[in-house]
């Protein structure tokens, strides 16, 4: 079978495509014929050895897949050949087939396209955990989303609206602002490129405050980090929740006196660890996501699909912050 492999530490240009042996499922595993693999920010890190997990090389990046079960290993109950599934696997998705632990599978309901399903788990799984479990979202909350036009950002908008919140989407261009509005955002803020000096940071904080309103943002979804985080924290409400999702713009240095003045919380969101530690709660969240999808409240936005041969281009585009919505590698292309 064909696979995209990382054999050395480096960027997307270091990835190679090779023919490798088809694996056989071990006890407790199934073999999945991959239909599609969504690209996410961790894929840009894992090939550079900058992610929390460092698989032994050579390995395939790609942690979010959909497909069809091709073979079932010993001791697997509840799954059969032909079942349509999706899974978060950490790495190994940019290949035609992969073995997956049965406990990491989720059934894709009939009527949902497999390519679209590949874009659900990491973004929406992260954000339902973020908003519901870590953000304690409730109807009437105001949610400020940084980096709102990417895959995680659009998931944040849709889910926050599904929970009855007002959403302010912060983005880097008018084009992205339109995408965020189309996804349901009530207000948008277009911010400039960092780095910011003191005056620019103060202005951005003022723009955020004006957009979220006098009471501030009950929840800040920070997908960006860097110089954008402090201005967002300054716009938070009394007892607000600042959710740390990612930091493609760098790890922010936050003035902790603001947490005292606002009596607010800075809360980390590590969906992968949550899913591993609390699989039943995670499964309940994923079931709720499919209900939202079937009710028309969410719809994964795939902006571009790539062939397996061009998977490096998808990772490069995401790394350069050029993506709007989700980028997906399809095995049919």
What HEC string does 176-227 produce?
HHHHHHHCCCCEEEECCCCCCCHHHHHHHHHHHHHHHCCCCEEEEEECCCHH
Question: What pLDDT digit, counting tens, does each position of 245-292 carry?
Answer: 998 889 999 999 999 999 999 999 999 899 989 999 999 999 999 999
pTM across the whole model: 0.86
What's residue 230's pLDDT?
A: 97
The pair of three-digit structure tokens given for residue 219, joined into one six-digit string: 């929840």
- pLDDT above 70 covers what percent of the chain? 100
SS3 for 288? helix
Are 188 and 66 in a shared domain?
no
Residue 93 lies in a domain: yes
Question: What pLDDT digit, counting tens, does each position of 297-326 carry?
Answer: 999 889 899 999 999 999 999 998 788 778
Are 129 and 112 in a shared domain?
no
Are 194 and 323 in a shared domain?
no
CATH number where 154 lies: 3.90.180.10
Ranked by mean pLDDT, the top range of 39-53, 101-115, 210-224 is: 210-224
Are 194 and 249 in a shared domain?
yes
Checking if the pLDDT of 231 tops 90, the result is yes
Residue 150 lies in a domain: yes
Q: Mean of the per-residue pLDDT values for the chain? A: 95
What's residue 272's pLDDT?
A: 86
SS3 for 58? coil
In the predicted model, what is the mean pLDDT of residues 111-139? 95
Are 43 and 53 in a shared domain?
yes
Residue 228 to residue 244: CA distance in whole angstroms: 12
**31, containing H or E segment:** strand 29-39
**100, containing H or E segment:** strand 97-101
Checking if the pLDDT of 150 tops 90, the result is no
Are 139 and 240 in a shared domain?
yes
Residue 332 to residue 33: CA distance in whole angstroms: 12
What's residue 88's pLDDT?
A: 92
Residue 287 lies in a domain: no
Question: What pLDDT digit, counting tens, does each position of 63-91 carry?
Answer: 999 999 999 999 999 999 999 999 999 99
Are 73 and 183 in a shared domain?
no
What range does the domain containing 157 cover? 122-272
Beta strand 142-146 with 166-171 is parallel
CB 297: neighbour CB atoms within 10 A? Answer: 15
The pair of three-digit structure tokens given for residue 149, joined into one six-digit string: 């036009």
CB 195: neighbour CB atoms within 10 A? Answer: 10
Are 22 and 71 in a shared domain?
yes
Residue 240 to residue 246: CA distance in whole angstroms: 19
- Mapped to the 3 state alphabet, what secondary structure does 116-163 carry? HHCCCHHHHHHHHHHHHHHCCCCCCCEEEEECCCEHHHHHHHHHHHHC
Are 198 and 260 in a shared domain?
yes
Residue 235 to residue 229: CA distance in whole angstroms: 10
CB 280: neighbour CB atoms within 10 A? Answer: 7
Length of the chain as a residue count: 333
Are 113 and 135 in a shared domain?
no
What's residue 56's pLDDT?
A: 94
Contact 235, 144 (CB under 8 A): yes
Counting the structural domains of the chain, the total is: 2
Are 174 and 208 in a shared domain?
yes
Contact 266, 254 (CB under 8 A): yes
CB 263: neighbour CB atoms within 10 A? Answer: 11
Are 193 and 152 in a shared domain?
yes
Residue 296 lies in a domain: no
Checking if the pLDDT of 191 tops 90, the result is yes
């Amino acid at each position: 079978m064909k696979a995209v492999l990382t054999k050395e530490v480096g960027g997307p240009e270091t990835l190679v495509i090779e023919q490798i042996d088809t694996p056989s499922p071990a006890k407790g595993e199934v073999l999945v014929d991959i239909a599609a693999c969504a690209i996410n920010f961790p894929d840009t890190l894992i090939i550079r050895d900058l992610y929390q997990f460092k698989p032994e090389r050579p390995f395939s990046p790609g942690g979010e897949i959909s497909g069809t079960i091709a073979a079932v290993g010993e001791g697997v109950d509840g799954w059969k050949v032909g079942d349509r599934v999706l899974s978060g696997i950490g790495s190994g998705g940019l290949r035609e087939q992969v073995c997956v632990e049965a406990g990491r599978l989720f059934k894709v309901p009939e009527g949902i396209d497999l390519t679209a399903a590949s874009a659900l788990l990491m973004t929406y799984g992260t954000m339902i955990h973020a908003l519901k479990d870590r953000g304690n979202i409730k109807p009437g909350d105001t949610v400020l989303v940084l980096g709102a036009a990417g895959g995680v950002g659009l998931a944040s908008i849709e889910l926050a609206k599904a929970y009855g919140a007002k959403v302010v989407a912060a983005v880097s261009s008018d084009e992205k602002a339109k995408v965020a509005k189309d996804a349901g955002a009530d207000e948008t803020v277009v911010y400039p490129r960092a780095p910011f000096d003191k005056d620019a940071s103060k202005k951005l904080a003022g723009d955020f405050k004006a957009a979220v309103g006098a009471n501030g943002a009950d929840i800040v979804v920070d997908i960006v980090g860097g110089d954008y985080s402090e201005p967002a924290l300054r716009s938070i409400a009394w007892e607000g929740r600042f959710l740390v999702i990612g930091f493609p713009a760098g790890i922010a240095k936050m003035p902790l006196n603001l947490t005292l003045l606002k009596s607010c919380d800075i809360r980390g969101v590590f969906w992968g660890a949550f899913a591993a530690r609390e699989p039943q709660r995670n499964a309940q969240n994923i079931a709720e996501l499919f209900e939202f999808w079937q009710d028309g409240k969410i719809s994964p936005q795939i902006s571009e699909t790539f062939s397996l041969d061009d998977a490096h281009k998808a990772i490069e585009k995401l790394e350069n912050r050029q993506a709007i919505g989700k980028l997906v590698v399809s095995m049919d292309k």
